[in-house]
Amino acid sequence: MSETTLNDIPQLRRGFRFQWEPAQNCHVLLYPEGMVKLNDSAAAILGQVDGDRSIAAIVAALRERFPESDGIEEDVLEFLEVARERSWIELH
């Protein structure tokens, strides 16, 4: 499998839905007969995935939102790689 690069455009696979769940006080990813709770950073990243924006654009948006954090690019690449391995997203 090829490396994930900044030019790739991630998109949630059909059947996966990202939403806020007040009862669990967190964002979740819903899919056929399953659900994962997302931590804050995973939710911040997935919240930017819209099938339009490239990974570079997502990194830029998150840098703007969290100017104090370092290593955003590494975190985003690493998380999206895991998300792809788990077949939550596909890259275009």
Q: Around Cβ 6, how many Cβ atoms within 10 Å?
A: 13
Are 10 and 49 within 8 A, CB to CB? yes
CB of 6 or CB of 35, closer to another protein: 35
Q: Which amino acid is at 8?
A: D
Residue whose token pair is 């077949």: 87
Piece of the chain touching another protein by CB under 8 A; list 13-21, 40-48, 53-61, 75-83 = 13-21
Piece of the chain touching another protein by CB under 8 A; list 3-11, 17-25, 57-65, 66-74 = 17-25
Q: Please list, in sequence order, all residues whose beta carbon lies within 8 angstroms of the beta carbon of residue 21, skipping any fewer than 6 positions away.
A: 27, 28
Site for another protein in 31-90 (CB under 8 A): 31-35, 87
- Residue 1 as a binder of another protein (CB under 8 A): the answer is yes
User: Can you tell me the distance from the alpha carbon of 2 to that of 24, in angstroms, rounded to the nearest whole number?
Assistant: 36
Instruction: Provide, rounded to whole angstroms, the least separation between the CB of residue 81 and another protein.
Output: 13
Q: Tell me which residues touch another protein (CB under 8 A).
A: 1, 13-15, 17, 19, 21-24, 28, 30-35, 87
